[in-house]
């Protein structure tokens, strides 16, 4: 198994309009993304075969992509279908074919998979309750100067919230919490106990009855985190992030905040968007600092019991990096007490 076997978001569906070409980076590969004549997304290596110009700087003509340098035209299979300089002498050739990658469109996202023959035919992750009646989704996109592992761990880490997001999300109270962490089948799941408040500015709205909160975190290989809060009878929230590896130290994160607040759904949208973006911007800053220190001193981390979830996530991603299948790792679970 390798990271290239999986599907990764490269754009929102709404970003990829007809006659639009987008430049993207994925696992160090440069991509030119556009819609073919049939409207389906196409992903080509962002390099013209002729003189190595960027195809993403070109234009889409009748569902084909024209290089901006000498006008070579590529169809949705990467085949060169026109060379202006050859005029009437032009003939198609199997040797003139750009690298093309598999694409899918799902839940309002465009996905690309780099592997031609993946070890397992995985499907793109299904975003929780996306498009369902009674649910609203707010989407934000942010770039982190750090790697996928550290981004994913940040998104499912409680202890940092009291210090990076004080007041907005949590405040340090030395409240005793418990969690059960489990690694199984290439995923990590966490169930929390003893939470009933400390949700920041919107505590009274999110949990007006002060009942115990049902809170769980999930990590799905290789790059997806999903946080679920169920607060009383009328507040249900998912925060799902897909961390896209542009390069070793640049990660583009697509985050869906999907919620069901009943009659408050539409009114809450601007508050949900602003709060999500404000919190994520704070995470962008702290992870940039972490990335600088890692670049200088490496990743010899000191762990506490509260970091058990991170250790499990790292074991899954390390297995893929070694070419192994993380689903074959032995099942592990731990009960942990920590304070926030």
pLDDT of residue 169: 72
Token pair for 62: 């009748």
pLDDT of residue 235: 87
**Cis before 31 (ω within 30):** no
The pTM for the full model equals: 0.94
Question: How deeply is 265 buried, as exposed, middle or buried, from its count of CB atoms within 10 A (0-12, 13-18, 19+)?
Answer: middle
pLDDT of residue 198: 59
pLDDT of residue 175: 85
Token pair for 196: 């009933």
Per DSSP, the three-state class of 149 is helix
Token pair for 179: 């969690």
pLDDT of residue 173: 77
pLDDT of residue 232: 77
Interhelix angle for 308-321 vs 148-155, to 10°?
A: 150
pLDDT of residue 199: 66
**Cα Rg of the chain (Å, integer):** 22
Q: Which residue has the tokens 């070890």?
A: 119
Contact 26/107 with Cβ under 8 angstroms?
no
Strands 176-184 vs 29-35: parallel, antiparallel or unpaired:
unpaired
Q: Average pLDDT per run of 10 along the chain, which is 340 residues long?
A: 97 96 98 97 98 97 96 97 96 94 98 94 96 97 98 96 85 86 98 76 69 90 96 89 96 98 93 95 98 94 94 98 97 95
Contact 38/61 with Cβ under 8 angstroms?
no
Q: How far apart are CA 172 and CA 154, in angstroms?
A: 17
């Amino acid at each position: 198994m390798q990271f290239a076997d999986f599907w990764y978001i490269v754009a929102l569906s709404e970003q990829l309009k007809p006659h639009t070409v987008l430049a993207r980076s994925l696992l160090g590969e440069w991509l030119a993304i556009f819609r073919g004549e049939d409207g389906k997304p196409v992903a080509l290596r962002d390099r013209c075969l002729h003189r190595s110009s960027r195809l993403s700087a070109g234009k889409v003509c009748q569902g084909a992509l024209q290089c901006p340098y000498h006008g070579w035209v590529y169809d949705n299979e990467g085949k060169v279908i026109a060379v202006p300089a050859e005029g009437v002498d032009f003939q198609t050739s199997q040797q003139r074919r750009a690298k093309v990658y598999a694409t899918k469109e799902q839940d309002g996202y465009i996905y690309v998979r780099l592997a031609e023959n993946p070890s397992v035919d995985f499907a793109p992750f299904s975003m929780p309750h996306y498009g369902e009646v009674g649910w609203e989704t707010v989407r934000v996109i942010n770039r982190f100067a750090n790697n996928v592992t550290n981004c994913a761990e940040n998104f499912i880490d409680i202890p940092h919230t009291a210090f990076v997001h004080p007041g907005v999300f949590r405040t340090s109270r030395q409240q005793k919490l418990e969690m059960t962490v489990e690694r199984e089948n290439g995923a990590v799941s966490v169930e929390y106990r003893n939470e009933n408040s400390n949700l920041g500015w919107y505590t009274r709205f999110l949990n007006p009855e002060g009942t115990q909160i049902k809170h769980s975190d999930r990590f799905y290989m290789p790059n997806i985190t999903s946080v679920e809060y169920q607060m009383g009878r009328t507040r249900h929230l998912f925060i799902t992030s897909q961390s896209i590896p542009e390069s070793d130290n640049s990660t583009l994160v697509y985050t869906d905040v999907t919620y069901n607040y009943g009659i408050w759904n539409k009114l809450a949208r601007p508050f949900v968007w602003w709060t999500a973006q404000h919190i994520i911007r704070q995470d962008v800053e702290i992870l940039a600092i972490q990335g600088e220190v890692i670049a200088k001193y490496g990743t010899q981390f000191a762990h506490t019991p509260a970091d058990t979830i991170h250790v499990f996530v790292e074991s899954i991603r390390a297995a893929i990096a070694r070419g192994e299948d993380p689903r074959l790792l032995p099942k592990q679970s731990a009960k942990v007490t920590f304070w926030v």
